[in-house]
Structures are given as structure tokens and as C-alpha cells.
Homo-oligomer: A and B are copies of this chain.
Amino acid sequence: MVASGRMDSEKNGQSRPRATLKDIAKVVGVSPTAVSLALNDKGALTDELRRRIKETAAALDYSPNPAARILRGARSNAVSVVINYFNNPFFRHFVLGLEEVLDRAGVSYSMSQTHDRLEKERELTRKMAEQGVDGLIVLNCSSEHEHLTAVSQTFSIPIVLISHALEDRFAAVQADNLRGGRLATEHLLSLDERPLFHIEGGWGKSGLINRKLGFVQAMRDARPDCNAEEACFPVEGLTAAAGYQAMAAIHEKHNPPFGLFVVNDEVALGVLTYCRHHGLHWPDDVAVVGFSDIDILETLDIPLTSIRIPQQRMGEVAAGTLLDLIAHPENRLCPPVLTLPVSLVVRESTVKQRRGLP
């Protein structure tokens, strides 16, 4: 068989270590420097020699040793993404956008999760920087920034924050939460005269606070005689279970019909479950608007009106910004904070719709 030589070398399992510049040099009969220059299309070499070198490099299945390059001060062409939880529903589309831009630039990325623990965030950002990444993307970071400043300075790498701008010290990409809050509230206001409440999740994270602010502003504009602050109920964590609890608290004090703007979709799901369990119908008894338009709504056919945030676009923009800051260190002095537009998606939790049968 023609392929038997290759088969043998595969079978014996003792394939020798990776080819290096020196190996190629020896085969071609030339200096390692020449090989380096040839492969990087630098220096002055005969076209003929360049060709021969590239040929043997390919034949030996050569790929440069990243450790050696990094040691020489080269870029690693790798960035790291640090997120609070991998199962953050936001994350999926975000990563899609990120991936596309990074792939195109030939930059690889790795990811890790902090479990929303500051200690882990400190540890991971530092570890990744030590490993030599060219930049960091931090999603839903804590509200601290000292460790980020330290890492960014010590290792001279840029950091881009997502969905949580931090004092203009870092580049950031976020959704227009304020406008989202207004959109949601104005939509509820447009339904009828029912009272409105907000289930808020604002403990320091600027994004969530802005959602509440949007609610308060819209209420003040439309119903100046109603104290919007008193219409806000806190939730104990951003989970469906917590939403269930919060809804129970509201239902205890107030009788339907009323409208609800909920800080995010997971919490809103808990609200819907409460309604199902207690015979409350939407939109007639309770009209609900969530935030984020997470994709399981569609998958599971849950008709929750929500504010859509351009997750994939945010990923693209974040990656683009990071790559720019890596390539142009001077831009790090005034890091951009980008706010992307959101939109309202109306579903049956606020407006009754005719369903077309399949």
C-alpha cells in the first residue's frame, strides 16, 4: 500500500517531538535565522530559498513554539473571558459574536467562571494574565476594581468590561438599560390604567440600577402623583425561585389587575410560575415584562414580553474594542464606554395574541 510508511510511523506511537527551527535548518542546510526570516516573510532571502524552507517546514508539520515567542515578548494571540456563571443565558449569544470577531483575527480565547465570588475573580484574572494573554474580557464583574487595575497595570494588558461599566477606568460595553426600563414601563403604561410595580434587583450593579431608574422616570412622567419608589420591590437574587417569592409578597398586598416590570427574565419566569400556580391569568390579571429576552423563552414557547438586548452585537463590539486596545496601547488612556440600543419584544404576557395553528 502506498500509505504504509505513514501508517507505520503512526502505529509505533513513538513520534518524535515537535520540529523546531533548528530541525528545519538542518534539513535545508541553512541557519535557524534564515528559517525564522523565511517563515515570517522578513529579511532578504532568495525566493528560491524561502520556498524551499517553507516547503520543508510544512513537510515537518512545523508550528512555532508559543512559549518561546511569548518569552521573546511576542503577543500570545490569546485573550481570556471571565464570566460570573457559564449558564448565564446572556452568555450564549454573546460568545457567538465574540468568537466570530476573534476567529477572524486569529486570536483564541479561553473562559472561566467566578461563581460571582470576588476572590475567584481576583484569582482568575491574575492567573490568566500570568499565563500571558493579551487582554481580558470580564462579564458581570464585581463592583470592585482594584484588582482589575492592578492586573491591567502589572501585565500591561487592556480589560474590557461587559454589562457593568466601572467608573470610566476601563473600556466597557453595555446595553442601554435606562432606555430599556423606560421602554418596558411605557409599554405597560400604554395597556390601560392598572397600577404598576417593579421587581428590582439593584444592589450596586449599575445595569440593574439603571433599569429601575428607567421605570421610575417613566412613571414620574406619566403618573406624577404616584410614588414610583414605593412601587419597587426587591428580589433576593436573580433566580426564578426568588421571583416566585417576590411575586408572592406583591400578591399579598395588592389585588390584580396590575402590571409588573421585572428586573430580568429568570426572575420573571418565577413570576409566571406563581401565576400558574395561583390561577392568575396574563395579561388580564397580571401583565409582565421581563428583561434580556433570553432564548429559552422561544425554545420553551413561553410568551413573556421582554426587552431584547443585542447580545451577539455586544460580543462583537467587546472583542473589537479589546483587539483595538491590544494593537494600539495609546488608546488605553481613554477607554471607550459603549452603550448599545435595546428593543421591546411584545408577547402574550402583556398583549393577547392570536396564535396561528401549525
Contacts and interface: CB of A to CB of B under 8 A. Distances in A.
Interface in A107-126: 108-113, 124
Contacts of A299: 240, 269
Contact of A66 (B78, B130, B153, B156): B130
Given A65-B71, A155-B18, A273-B300, A86 B80 contact: no
Interface residues of A, number: 52
Given A15-B154, A154-B61, A296-B296, A132 B67 contact: yes
Contact of A131 (B18, B66, B95, B277): B66
A13 interface: yes
Contact of A91 (B86, B124, B248, B273): B86
Given A92-B86, A110-B111, A66 B132 contact: yes
A3 to B, nearest CB: 12
Contacts of A130: 63, 66
Interface string A266-310: 000100010011000000000000000000100111100000000
A110 B111 CA distance: 5
B66 A300 contact: no
A112 B109 contact: yes
A112 B98 CA distance: 12
Contacts of A353: none
Interface in A3-19: 10, 13, 15, 17-18
Contacts of A153: 10, 13, 15
A106 B155 CA distance: 21
Contacts of A131: 66, 76, 78, 108
A45 interface: no
Contacts of A68: 67, 71
B300 A240 contact: yes
A80 B110 contact: yes
Nearest to A111: B111
Nearest to A244: B358
Contacts of A254: none
Contacts of A95: 86, 113
Interface in A75-112: 76, 78, 80, 86-87, 91-92, 95, 99, 108-112
A348 to B, nearest CB: 14
Nearest to A12: B153
Contacts of A149: 10
Contacts of A92: 86-87
Contacts of A13: 153
Interface in A166-187: none
A191 interface: no
Contacts of A277: 357-358
A109 B80 CA distance: 11
Interface of A: 10, 13, 15, 17-18, 61, 63, 65-68, 70-71, 76, 78, 80, 86-87, 91-92, 95, 99, 108-113, 124, 127-128, 130-132, 149, 153-156, 240, 248, 269, 273, 276-277, 296, 299-302, 357-358
7 contacts: A61-B154, A65-B71, A67-B68, A68-B71, A99-B113, A110-B112, A277-B358
